[in-house]
Amino acid sequence: MAFDLVFFGGTGDLTWRKLMPALFQAMRHNKLPAGGRILAVARDERSDEQYREFIRERFAEVEPSKRPSDEEFARFAAMLHYRRMDLSQPEHYAGLKTWLDERNAETAVLYLATSPALFTVICEQLGRAGLNGPHIRVVLEKPLGHDLESAQEINRVVSAVFHEKQAFRIDHYLGKPAVQNLMALRFGNALFEPLWRRESIANIQITLAEELGVGTRGDYYDTTGALRDMIQNHALQLLTMIAMEPPSTNDADAIRDEKLKVLKSLRPFTAETVARDIVRGQYRAGTVEGKPVPGYLDEVKVPAGSTCETFVAVRTEVQNWRWAGVPFYLRTGKRLATRDSQIVVNFREVPHPIFPGTSRANKLVIKLQPEDGLELHLLAAKGGANNEALAPVSLDLDFDKAFPSERVGAYERLLLDAIAGRLNLFVRSDEQEQAWRWVEPILDAWQGDPNGPRPYAAGSWGPPAASALVARDGCAWAEEQ
Ligand code: BG6
């Protein structure tokens, strides 16, 4: 299938750090449909050759096993083209249309890897230039808006130009293999469904922990913060996949209808519940992997006295029959003890313990990264001579080992899906707006709160108040259990 893939923001970080390496991997895995052209669009003047050279140099920063050989790069580079565009100039869109029409590929994917401030301008211009026909798809990178109003404004412009079926809103977490496995675990197996409810589950914890700080993105991050950067999108998307009802089919809208219901069932926050059920933090200097690291306020491009949160822990509930009363804890942060993203489903304790000593509830750990796997924690008899306490054991499944040649990265998967027109792993406008609706009272409450975020040492698990948040319900975070 011939396709054209156009990257607006063609010289930006996202394009060379994530998108080009992902496309290269897709080519290496023979997954990229033949006959594709990749066009990078940006402000400055360069030839195709100069752009290819720019990308070739950037590949040096990719991890060694993912770097192309000379022969591979030559094949990849043959697909790469470059075009200078001033995004406010209608004639530049007309020129792009001519370039695309010349070949009239079956599919043209227009990927907006620019600042979101440009999304509406670009979409309007695309519409005026007639670059919105049924074979065209538009991919929008997060952050999609800053709050409900700005998200609605983007969606209003996008929907004036494109049909919802042409709009591919990226949440790259949905492209992670572990997240697709969550669907498989829940709806491809009958085992867990009878247990997947309030009667058997005590609480659910979603942790997206990063070891890195904000690096050189201080200016972007400071106007965003952890709530908008990770919770509004990635953590809530994971929550919907854990909590959703079984969809009637595996079609995009059947799945997204169920996810939307979950978002609508989340308990809304008030100023009082924000103060009670949310902990926000900001890292101070500390030690990560044995090395001293600066605090957030000393990072480059971070304004003095910033009250931007780099850590958030939230306690929420899904208000429906399946989940009433079950706490869902969401937690994310920069400069935490380790890079570790996982979902822990804590089951209830046995109703009447008959074994001496150890009593520990079962838990299912869905590991997103760095490993991609499942652990089911049980108690077992050690088989010794005495009447010993039961010992904790776990059944471990490592998907990288189980399917060594099949795993593809999140962006690779999402780019291939966008080219193929599969919307399952993309976010619909109503889901995205509902997520903002839930987040907004939190942002409002923080704005009126003079206390600001709580400090935590880089390399720790966040402010102690985050432990107190779960301890209140008699729970503990996974690393404290
Ligand atoms: C992005 C955030 O969406 O996700 C970043 O903007 C964050 O701040 C990143 O570092 C984390 O993604 P991953 O795939 O490395 O967990």
> Is 377 one of the catalytic residues?
no
Q: Measured at the alpha carbon of residue 293, what is the angle toward residues 229 and 278, in degrees to the nearest 5?
A: 35
Report the distance separating Cα 208 and Cα 230, nearest Å. Answer: 8
Distances 441 to 189, 227, 311, 437 between C-alpha atoms, Å = 38, 12, 18, 8
Atom number of ligand 1 nearest to Cα 369: 16
Ligand 1 mutation target, pool 234, 341, 368, 413, most atoms within 8 A of CB: 234
Q: Is 171 close to ligand 1, i.e. is its CB under 6 Å away?
A: no
Q: Report which ligand 1 atom has the smallest distance to the Cα of 234.
A: 3
Nearest-CA residue for atom 14 of ligand 1: 173
Strand runs (DSSP E) across 48-145, as ranges? Answer: 80-84, 107-112, 136-140
Q: Which of 81, 172, 234, 377 is catalytic?
A: 234
pLDDT in tens, the chain (481 residues): 799 999 999 999 999 999 999 999 999 989 999 889 999 999 999 999 999 999 999 999 888 988 999 999 999 999 999 999 999 999 999 999 999 999 889 999 999 999 888 999 999 999 999 999 999 999 998 888 899 999 999 999 999 999 999 999 999 999 999 998 999 999 999 999 999 999 999 999 999 999 999 998 899 899 999 999 999 999 999 999 999 999 999 999 999 999 999 999 999 999 999 999 999 999 999 999 899 999 999 999 999 999 999 999 999 999 999 999 999 999 999 999 999 999 999 999 999 888 877 778 999 999 999 999 999 999 998 887 776 788 899 999 999 899 987 778 899 999 999 999 999 999 999 999 999 999 999 999 999 899 999 999 999 999 999 999 999 999 999 999 8
CB burial class (10 A; 0-12, 13-18, 19+) of residue 291? exposed
For ligand 1, whether the C-beta of 141 sits within 6 Å is no
92 C-alpha vs ligand 1 centroid, how far in Å?
33
Q: Which residues contact 63 (CB under 8 A, 6 or more apart)?
A: none
Strands 363-369 and 373-380: antiparallel
Q: Is the CB of 222 under 6 A from ligand 1?
A: no
Burial string for 11-43 (b: 16+ CB within 10 Å, else e) reads bbebbbebbbbbbbbbbbeeebeeebbbbbbbe
